[in-house]
A = this chain, B = another copy of it.
């Protein structure tokens, strides 16, 4: 989580601006653990900025991701999903409902050192993604859909 002032400064450093839309979208993402997709975020942000457009949400997510203030996480479904948390951690995705939860991995930073890469690569990042069943989906019998729009 990065403070608004630093964000504004970093953006300005690249000739970009911290607009109201960008601030609200970033805060919405930082204040949830649900790893929402763009449309879900759009609906949330609309409660604060009723005239915001989905295109702005997409463009803002693109800017914030490129700046490194936000990360895209793997999703089992067709929508890209985002995370406002930046410190090293993993995720688990429910294969029935698409829910994504955080996973703490104490030795995640040691994984690259133990990895034997097939080819000459310079490693720059590491992500660990578990799959599983959340409590509610484990309860009911297995469902059809792998990733409904819900965050």
Q: Do A122 and B133 touch (CB < 8 A)?
A: yes
Contacts A101-B118, A101-B119, A104-B118 given; does A112 touch B130 at CB 8 Å: yes
Chain B residues near A92: list those with CB within 8 A. 115, 117, 121, 123
Q: Among B95, B107, B125, point to the contact of A132 (Cβ < 8 A).
A: B125
Enumerate A114-151 residues with CB–CB distance to B below 8 Å: 114-135, 138
Contact of A94 with B by CB under 8 A: yes
Contact of A88 with B by CB under 8 A: no
Q: Do B114 and A107 touch (CB < 8 A)?
A: yes
Copies of this chain assembled into the complex: 2
Q: How large is the interface on A (under 10, 10 to 19, 20 to 34, 35 or more residues)?
A: 35 or more
Distance (Å) between the CB of A126 and the closest chain B CB? 5
The 8 A CB mask of A96-118 against B (1 = contact, 0 = none) is 00000111111100011011111
- List 6 other contacts, CB 8 Å, given A106-B116, A122-B138, A124-B133: A92-B121, A101-B117, A101-B121, A115-B130, A126-B128, A128-B128
